[in-house]
Each structure stands twice: as C-alpha cells, then as structure tokens.
Amino acid sequence: MHLGRVIGTVVATEKTPNLEGIKFLIVQPLSRDGEPSGRPVVAADAVAMAGPGEMIYFVGSREAAQAMSETFVPIDHAIVGIVDQLHVEPLPKTKRKPKQ
C-alpha cells in the first residue's frame, strides 16, 4: 500500500463496461513524511468516497484490480482507503560500526 493525496479528477467519455460508474482520480504519491514522492498516477476510486485534497492510501498492479467490486478490471491503481489521521514515528537511528 502507498500513501497519496488526491490532486485532481479524470473524466473519461468512454470506458470498458466493467468500469462504468467508477470514478478516476489523480493521486500524488507521498513519502512517509507526507512530501510528494514520484509522479502522479491515475487511480480508480474503490471506496467511492475520495475527493480532491484528501489523503488516501492506494494499491497497484493485481491488488488494484482485486480491490474493485468487479474484480480483474483493467486498472493499474486503486484507492482503497481514506486517511483520517496520520502519526509517523521517527525512524530508529542505526549505529554505524567504526571503520577498521
């Protein structure tokens, strides 16, 4: 699963029949600190409630197709949850071995 923020919507005049009624959104992937990370992707809204500005989590590949009510549809990414609150623990500091 990946953290992301919805930054826009996609309007498709034609879709495969299995995707009729499914909303497509543009998602900016985020790092664990909430900063943009990588290029935006288009994701199908499997929760049917996500909207612009919301922080979400999404899946890709086969998991995306399985997240939809009609499984194995031709999509690459799917929104599977909306983030209500985010708390990030600091990464543990690793001890470096002294060079010998």
Listed by start position, the domains of the chain span 2-82
Q: Output the CATH code of domain 2-82.
A: 2.40.50.220
Q: Which of 25, 19, 39, 5 is nearest to 77 (CA)?
A: 25
Give percent of the chain with pLDDT exceeding 70.
95
pTM equals 0.84
Tens-place pLDDT, residues 8-51: 999 988 889 889 889 999 999 999 888 999 999 999 999 999 99
